[in-house]
Amino acid sequence: MKLIDVQKILRAEVLCGGEYLTRDVEVACGADLMSDVLAFTKEKALLLTGLTNIQVIRTAEMSDLVGIVFVRGKRPGPEVLQLAAAKGIPLLLSDYPMYESCGILYRVGLKGCSEKVTACEV
Amino acid sequence: MITLEMQLDGASFETAGEASSRVKKVLQQIGVPGDVTRRVAIAAYEAEMNVIIHARRGIMTALIYPDRTELTVADEGPGIADISLAMQEGYSTAPDSVREMGFGAGMGLPNMARCSDEFDIETVIGEGTKIRMTIYHEKRP
């Protein structure tokens, strides 16, 4: 699956990094706990989160995340967008809440970080 | 060898992560494998956040050799009363304000140890904590 597929499926607005939407997404995780993201995600993982502070971007940077989806219409501030743009981290904004966002992506084959990566088709 | 030394200021959440970002950038520039760079960055960032959350100030030093990176993060802070307890996943003394930012879940020290090939803590109550981590640049099997 590619980020652009995620964007379409979650009817998401692209906040920044539109040029990176052809990136592959291999796995995903939904978390508001950045410590868990740092501890348990894999490379090329997509993060879905309800947190919008600058540490979310730093966490994505350190963990080599492929992108971030802010759920339930939570819009981050300009300093967050600025850092994400500088670090080449695409940001999406979906109105779906966390549970539904994760469920929708899981249903179309995007696996979690604890599972073996398998090819998924949209 | 490349030496990086960076000042860390307690409670400066806006700039937290800049030191680790610098280390990561240098490792990328010299061609260290991506998964190794990722482990160094995560270990450094967890240590940096610990200083921002718990200490008054600290210094992060990264010594980057051809075969390994040695990270030292030394702070002036409260110290750790019980290291074995602090190494347990889920144990934390961080305040609620930090938890609301997505940290302080008691994963920091165990995660640093997991990312490192060698890991060592020295701490003195009321004075501070020094964490030393070595990560070899060879990929893990």
> Which residues of A, range 80-109, sit inside 8 Å of B by Cβ?
none
DSSP 8-state class, residue A2: B
On whether any CB of chain B is under 8 Å from the CB of A66, the answer is no
On whether any CB of chain A is under 8 Å from the CB of B96, the answer is no
- Which residues in chain B are contacts of A54 at CB distance < 8 A? 13-14, 17
Residue B45 falls inside a structural domain: yes
- Closest CA relative to residue B26, chosen from B36, B37, B15: B37
Q: What CATH number is attached to the domain comprising A92? A: 3.40.1390.20
Q: What is the pLDDT of residue A52?
A: 97
The amino acid occupying position B48 is E
Spell out the residues 6+ positions from residue A55 whose beta carbon is closer than 8 angstroms to its own: A34, B13, B16, B17, B49, B101, B102, B103
Q: What CATH number is attached to the domain comprising B13? A: 3.30.565.10
pLDDT interval class at A115 (50, 70, 90): low
B27: closest CA of chain A, how far (Å): 12
| Mutate: best of B39, B42, B97, partner A, most A CBs <10 A | B42
Subunit contact B110:A32, Cβ cutoff 8 A: no
How many interface pairs between A and B have CB atoms less than 8 angstroms apart? 74
On whether any CB of chain A is under 8 Å from the CB of B85, the answer is no
Q: Does the pLDDT of residue B53 top 50, yes or no?
A: yes
Q: Does the pLDDT of residue B4 top 90, yes or no?
A: yes
Residue B6 falls inside a structural domain: yes
Subunit contact A55:B13, Cβ cutoff 8 A: yes
For B100, the 3-state DSSP assignment is: coil
Work out how many domains chain B is built from and give that number.
1
A41: closest CA of chain B, how far (Å): 11
Residue A62 falls inside a structural domain: yes
For residues B49 and A49, what is the distance between their CA atoms, to the nearest angstrom? 19
DSSP 8-state class, residue A24: B
Subunit contact A36:B45, Cβ cutoff 8 A: no
Q: Does the pLDDT of residue A120 top 50, yes or no?
A: no
In whole angstroms, what separates CA A64 from the centre of its chain? Answer: 11
Q: Does the pLDDT of residue A117 top 70, yes or no?
A: no
Tokens 């996943």 locate to B89
- Determine phi and psi for A28, rounding to 5 degrees: -145, 160
Tokens for B70, please give them. Answer: 């040695």
Work out how many domains chain A is built from and give that number.
1
Whether residue B135 contacts residue B69, with contact meaning beta carbons closer than 8 Å, is answered with yes
Residue B18 falls inside a structural domain: yes
A66: closest CA of chain B, how far (Å): 13
pLDDT digits (tens, 9 = 90+) for B26-47: 999 999 999 999 999 999 999 9
Whether residue B13 contacts residue B55, with contact meaning beta carbons closer than 8 Å, is answered with no
Q: Which of B17, B44, B106 sits opposite A55 (nearest CB)?
A: B17
Residue A122 falls inside a structural domain: no
Residue B49 falls inside a structural domain: yes
Q: What is the mean pLDDT of residues B12-24?
A: 96
- Closest CA relative to residue B43, chosen from B123, B125, B124, B120: B120
Residue B141 falls inside a structural domain: no
Residue A85 falls inside a structural domain: yes
For residues B105 and B11, what is the distance between their CA atoms, to the nearest angstrom? 17
Residue A119 falls inside a structural domain: no
Residue A52 falls inside a structural domain: yes
Residue A117 falls inside a structural domain: no
Element (H, E) at B66: none
For residues A5 and A113, what is the distance between their CA atoms, to the nearest angstrom? 19
Domain that holds residue A52: 3-112
pLDDT digits (tens, 9 = 90+) for B66-109: 999 999 999 999 999 999 999 999 999 999 889 988 998 888 99
In whole angstroms, what separates CA B61 from the centre of its chain? Answer: 10
pLDDT digits (tens, 9 = 90+) for A61-76: 999 999 999 999 999 9
For B28, the 3-state DSSP assignment is: helix
For residues B52 and B94, what is the distance between their CA atoms, to the nearest angstrom? 11
